[in-house]
Structure 1
Amino acid sequence: MFTSPLLTAVSEDRTPHDRDEGLREVITRARVVLWDFDGPICRLFAGHSADRVANRLVQWLDTRRRLGLLTDEERETPDPYAVLLAVGRRHPSLDLVLELEERLTREELRAVASAMPTAYADSLIRTWTAVGARLAIATDNSPRVVGEYLESRGLMSCFFPHVYGRTQDLHLFKPNPYGLNRALNAMGAAPSKALVIGSTPADCQAALQAGIPFLGYARNARKAKELRSVGAGLVVESLEQVLRIVRSSA
């Protein structure tokens, strides 16, 4: 697996001052910023429980007499994306997978109305755009969902037309770097001039494989530990620090 030297240079073994300098370096050198959606931009399922969505997908599969597609553990997962991926791995019928994916998209669309914006994300997006950075979203969420959320927050102009959501090929979910590479190619950007902002181990692994510096956003210590366990050298628990650096570098 590719490991960015910029990431290894700012590991947890460095002093807080060195880590701050490493954070400033990756932020100020980035000309293109590739965001994940659910996490660093908002909590999509803040008011529309992901656990409940996963259960609805399982119940729908039951009505289709597809009980054997999921293990007992998968039937109890609180992650609706895990349900979709499990079915995609085991079932040869594309029609079933497409219908399940569409049901998930409808649930995501319902979640937009109660999604919780990540603190400082809106201001950071607008400020980074104002100082000349180009922004894109590369996510495993539906691009329809991302578009509806961005429109509701008045942020679409900061990203348009560079919103890259999941495709019908479930093998391209992160940690596959397909979405990140797709965004870079469309924007004509080199990996060394870009920065990925994500909140999951899969986001980090995809960035490492694409050779793009990674900045982890973790809303609590547990999630920060998960990111560091897969090689994230830079992790922040608030985007306020990032916003301050962007403003001071303008």
Structure 2
Amino acid sequence: MRPAEVIAQAGTLLLDFDGPVCAVFAGFPASVVAEQLRQVLAEGGHANLPGSVATSADPFDVLHYAATVGSDEARYVEVAFAAHEVEAIPSAMPTEGAHGLIRTWHASGRKIAIVSNNSTSAINAYLDLYDIRAAIDVVSGRTGPDTALLKPNPHLLVQAINDLDVTPNECVFIGDSLSDVEAAEAAGVRSIGFANKVGKSALLAEADAVTSTMAGLVANS
């Protein structure tokens, strides 16, 4: 199915944040954040990390590992992670066409939500920075250290759907990762994969549609 067809059938738009809306760590590399989170663990006596965690450039890998170590470690790492996400927002790069899609969708009277594993504090900071908060009805993001609630778990999507007071079959979720597609399927929501990098189209093949641009969706909204 073409993205235009999926969009046309939807009454409610759910958007992942990092990717479809902006590149959160465009100016504050995720690898730097991951290293700083490893330092938090080291200061708590956990310097000897598994190889994959010790070398990962993804802060979420460190957060997930911290959750296996203990509740205190998970809480400390998550708080530090959220602070770094907020710090990264001023240098985040808006995705071409994303703000236009958000404003166009909102102007049509249809509901729209941000659904993301990123912290709500970072998402809200971005919405304020670009003055698009009024166009977003609901923000469903990370609010604590419980990584079991993050995508691919459908929890955040279900939370957004409930807060919007809509049904899953009237929603479409745009995300740029396999976990987004899996979460959408688990929540009973149609999905559009945002293939913003080479090779992602194959990764997102299980989505109802795949697009390489957010800008191309604006005319079809």
Query: What is the TM-score of this pair, normalised by structure 2?
Result: 0.95
**Equivalent residue, structure 2, for 1:153:** 130
Greater Rg over alpha carbons, structure: 1
Structure 2 SS opposite 1:140: strand
Where in structure 2 are the equivalents of 1:29-44 lying within 5 Å?
Answer: 29-44=9-24
Shift of 1:217: 1.0
Instruction: Give the aligned residue type for 1:31.
Output: G
In structure 2, C-alpha distance between the alignment counterparts of 1:225 and 1:46, rounded to whole Å: 24
SS across alignment from 2:74: helix
1:180 and 1:206 in contact (8 A); partners too: yes
The structural deviation recorded for 1:195 is 0.5
The aligned counterpart of 2:35 is: 55
User: Which has the larger share of strand?
Assistant: 2
The structural deviation recorded for 1:159 is 1.0
Structure 1 residue 223, shift from structure 2 partner: 2.1
The answer to whether the 8 Å contact 1:140/1:165 transfers is yes
Deviation of the 1:152 alpha carbon: 0.6
How far residue 131 of structure 1 moved from its aligned partner, in angstroms, is 1.1
SS at match of 1:245: coil
Task: List structure 1 segments (4+ residues) > 2 angstroms apart after TM superposition.
Answer: none
- In structure 2, C-alpha distance between the alignment counterparts of 1:201 and 1:175, rounded to whole Å: 8
Do structure 1's residue 83 and structure 2's residue 59 form an aligned pair? no
In the superposition, the TM-score normalised over structure 1's length comes to 0.85
Secondary structure of the corresponding residue to residue 38 of structure 1? coil
- Equivalent residue for 2:140, pick from 164, 177, 181: 164
Residue by residue over 1:87-126, the C-alpha shift from the partner in whole angstroms, topping out at 9 and shown as x without a partner, is 10x223x222111101001110110010000000011100
Q: Which residue of 2 aligns with 1:65?
A: 45
- Do the aligned residues in 2 keep the contact of 1:34 with 1:136 (CA within 8 Å)? yes
The one-letter code sitting in structure 2 at the alignment partner of 1:26 is V
Correspondence 1:28 to 2:8: yes
User: Which ranges in structure 1 are unaligned for 5 or more consecutive residues?
Assistant: 1-9, 11-18
* 1:235 to 2:210 alignment: yes
**For 1:1-250, what aligned pairs fall within 5 Å after superposition?**
10=1, 19=2, 23-68=3-48, 70-88=49-67, 90-92=68-70, 94-160=71-137, 162-168=138-144, 169-228=146-205, 231-246=206-221
- Secondary structure (helix, strand or coil) at the match of 2:207 reads coil
- What is the root-mean-square deviation in Å for CA atoms of aligned residues? 1.2
* Corresponding residue pairs, total: 220
Residues 129-148 of structure 1: CA deviation (Å, up to 9, x unaligned): 11121001111111011001
The one-character-per-residue Cα deviations of 1:15-63 (angstroms, maximum 9, x if unpaired) are xxxx3xxx22221121111111111000000000001110111122122
CA distance in 2: counterparts of 1:27 and 1:156, whole angstroms: 22
Report the Cα distance in structure 2 between the residues aligned to 1:178 and 1:234, rounded to whole angstroms: 22
Using the alignment, how far apart are the partners of 1:86 and 1:96 within structure 2?
A: 9
5+ residue gaps, structure 2:
none
